[in-house]
Amino acid sequence: MRAPTADQAPPGAHLSTALRCGPALSSPDGVEAQTCVAVRGKDVWARTYYRNTTGASLDAALSLLGPDGHSVRSRCVAGAGDDPSLCETPRVRLEGEPLRYAAVAEFAAHAGGAEKGPLLLRAGSNSPSGEDR
């Protein structure tokens, strides 16, 4: 089987994904996470890499904060285990400079129903000014 040439590659296949990540953080409870803003072509989204060694599933809320005040939010179940995992928001069209976007992930104990359990860890991407939004 021959590798596709540039003319045969699917659209966007040649684009790389740029990541702007905050620091890798960990909680005493056993949650580790690093949250990033991802940009590929004209798409932008939030991504968090995590490891959950608490022994229980956690609720993870991930938000992408845009420069116009709009946000995109996803919820993930962070299963217990030592294997690294990730959660992403849906991709949206990039408006303006990628540096004007921020991402925040919050990991909380599962409380069931509509209730949110206690917050165990909040991890964010670095904002251009070095301050969290």
> pLDDT tens, 86-127?
999 999 999 989 999 999 999 999 766 556 678 999 999 976
Classify domain 18-124 by CATH architecture: Sandwich (2.60)
Cβ atoms < 10 Å from Cβ of 9: 11
pLDDT beyond 60 at 2: no
DSSP state of 56: S
> pLDDT tens, 12-67?
556 789 999 999 999 999 999 999 999 999 999 999 999 999 999 999 999 999 99
* C-alpha closest to that of 30 among 111, 107, 124: 107
pTM over 0.85: no
Domains of the chain, by residue range, sit at: 18-124
